[in-house]
Amino acid sequence: MSRTDTESRVPPGQRLTTGFPVLHHGEVPYYRDMRLWDLKLLGLVEENVTISYAEFMKLPRRTFVNDIHCVTTWSKLDNEWEGVAVATIMEKVKLKPEAKYVMLHAERGWTTNLPLEDFLRDTSFFALKHNGELLTPEHGYPVRMVVPHLYFWKSAKWLRAVEFRATDRPGFWERNGYHMYGDPWLEQRYDFE
């Protein structure tokens, strides 16, 4: 790839890394018994759904290739992931018409918010593997969200629930000054006021 091609893929204020930095608040969860893991779909749905680990592992998977952009200014190009498409998960619930936003709930109460339409994009997915390897505990094992068109803090690691909401509400970092939306191309990093 030529230099300009690569440059055109790096949003303003970002620089490339070839490593895969680990960033999060709090401790990494280590799971001993996957029978205790599940993913819940709740909020503005006709009926709440709980997907067990065994069920999740049987869902059809796809490969996704993308670039990720962390608000702390690193970008990592050409990630290859294996994961479950959002559409596959959405077959399990019927949304109520008022649903306009999503709150992603991770282990230990960590949350992040995004508009429903961004969650539903066909580039957003539930990741299980990165560059051919199972997600490590540090990077979100067993399942993390990946929403590559927003800053990477919206990509919740250790995902446990997707909540559908009528109104937007700030998640963990958004309450602490991060932008409610987080478009890396518009440098929507922080929103202190």
In the bound complex, what is the minimum distance in angstroms from residue 179's beta carbon to Mo ion?
12
Examine residue 153 and tell whether it contacts ligand MTE (CB under 6 A).
yes
For residues 33-92, which are near Mo ion according to CB under 5 A? Answer: 70-71
- Residue partners of 128: CB distance under 8 A and separation at least 6: 61, 81, 82, 83, 84, 134, 135, 142, 143
Examine residue 172 and tell whether it contacts Mo ion (CB under 5 A).
no
- In this complex, which beta carbon is closest to ligand MTE, that of residue 29 or of residue 95? 29
The SS3 assignment for 24 reads coil
In the bound complex, what is the minimum distance in angstroms from residue 150's beta carbon to ligand MTE?
11
- Which of 44, 106, 114, 128: binder of ligand MTE (CB under 6 A)? 106
Examine residue 156 and tell whether it contacts ligand MTE (CB under 6 A).
yes
115-142 core/surface letters (b: 16 or more CB in 10 A; e: else) = ebebbeeeebbbbbebeeeebeeebbbb
Residues that bind ligand MTE (CB under 6 A): 20-25, 70, 106, 110, 139-140, 152-153, 155-158
